[in-house]
Amino acid sequence: MSPRSPVPDAAQVLRARYAHRLPARLENLTGPVHGTVDLPLHVVWSGRRSYDMTGLKSRISLYRTVLAEGQRQDLEAFLNRDLLISQWPILRTLISRFVRDAWEDAFPELAHAKAP
């Protein structure tokens, strides 16, 4: 940054980081709906890496991790469009506002998703 250019604040940097990772369309999210999912080390470098898709808590934990740490290819490979939409009312309260705002700005249908 030059002395005349304003330095972006942390919120702007985080919003841009998460927005850059988003898929072009929610339909690109073709991740699994059943079975066990093992996340790669570049997504989760410590702690739990294996998630059972049959349990709500396990699914929510997987989605939180991928939303926060995944790159675009990870989002598309590990998240499922229908599951994301159905879980969004819960997920949106458990993720950072920067992640939530990036997703809801890009995909307004998420902002309108209703709790089951």
Report DSSP letters for 43-112, one per residue: T--SS--EEETTSHHHHHHHHHHHHHH--HHHHHHH-BHHHHHHHHHHHTTTS-HHHHHHHHHH-HHHHT
pLDDT value for 65? 96
* Dihedral angle of Cα 80, 26, 93, 70, to the nearest 10 degrees: 70
The answer to the question of residue 29 being in a domain is no
Q: Which amino acid is at 68?
A: A
pLDDT of residue 111: 87
Task: Please indicate, yes or no, if residue 16 is contained in any of the structural domains.
Answer: no
Over residues 24-28, the mean pLDDT reads 97
DSSP letter, residue 5: S
Domain containing 57 equals 34-112
Whether 43 has a pLDDT exceeding 70, the answer reads yes
Mean pLDDT of 90-94: 96
Residue 21: the pLDDT is 94
- The whole-number average pLDDT for the span 26-39 is 97
Provide mean pLDDT across the span 34-42: 96
- Residue 43 resides in a domain: yes
1 within a domain of the structure (yes/no):
no
CA-to-CA dists, residue 86 to 41, 99, 111, angstroms: 27, 17, 12
* Residue at 102 is within a domain: yes
Query: What's the total number of domains in the chain?
Result: 1
Q: Can you tell me the distance from the alpha carbon of 51 to that of 24, in angstroms, rounded to the nearest whole number? A: 26
Residue pLDDT, tens place only, 48-88:
899 999 999 999 999 999 999 999 999 999 999 999 999 99
Quick one: pLDDT at residue 116? 56
Asked if the structure places residue 8 within a domain, the reply is no
pLDDT at 15 over 70: yes
Is 101 among the domain residues? yes
- Identify whether 72 is part of a domain: yes
